[in-house]
Amino acid sequence: MTDPDIPTTPEDANVPPSDSTDGGAPAPVSPETVSDDDAPGAGDTDEATALRAQLAERTDDLQRLQAEYVNYRKRVDRDRLVARDLTVVAFVEAFLPVLDDLDSARTHGELAEGTPFAAIAEKFEGVLTKFGWERYGAKGEPFDPNVHEALLHSHSPDVTETTVSEVLQAGHRAGERIVRAARVAVVDPEE
């Protein structure tokens, strides 16, 4: 039941072996028509090696970019904190005369508890405290040249180390930064 006009093999139809005759199925390949370059797997190793190298290169690039970004974020965060600290220090420096006046008023009894002026001073100092400000310097504490500025100097047999005998002006710090050293009178032990 075959039609003699329809060829049944590629040889009958004079069709080259690479063409297909049955709707997409590949034509049979003879060993003589396959070269070493066309052999399956011969070019795959070179191509796979090249792809692996390219993948490794791209992975390294992505890892490098990610590390650079992480370092950038850390640097920005650190710079932001430094800028904040410098701003707080500048703010406290600008208000040093007001803080000195409040200390003087407190020393002279003008900041009596319950007065409007005392309430305002308390609120003002409370706001500064929220930003890390603190007043320091007290009579009797050991003298530290890193945080104290000695304006007066005397000797006494009553002390064993250099000690603050009087605070002339309180010191101010914002966080870890000294805004102004405490101005003090000190007493040294007698020799």
CATH number at residue 161: 2.30.22.10
Q: Cα–Cα distance between 181 and 129 in angstroms, integer?
A: 18
- Domain-embedded: residue 55: yes
- Domain-embedded: residue 6: no
Is 60 exceeded by the pLDDT of residue 115? yes
Number of domains in the chain: 3
The verdict on 145 and 190 lying in the same domain is: yes
Q: Do 82 and 165 meet the contact criterion of CB atoms below 8 Å apart?
A: no
Q: What is the pLDDT of residues 123-181, one digit of tens each?
A: 999 999 999 999 999 999 999 999 999 999 999 888 889 999 999 999 999 988 999 99
- Domain-embedded: residue 104: yes
Among 131, 149, 182, residue at a domain's last position: 131
The pLDDT of residue 158: 87
- Domain-embedded: residue 33: no
- Domain-embedded: residue 86: yes
The verdict on 69 and 118 lying in the same domain is: no
Give the range of the structural domain holding residue 52, as residue numbers without chain letter.
39-94
Range 32-61 burial, b when 16+ CB lie within 10 A, else e: eeeeeeeeeeeeeeeeeeeeeeeeeeeeee
Does the pTM exceed 0.85?
Answer: no
The verdict on 125 and 142 lying in the same domain is: no
- Domain-embedded: residue 180: yes
Q: Do 141 and 51 meet the contact criterion of CB atoms below 8 Å apart?
A: no
- Domain-embedded: residue 5: no
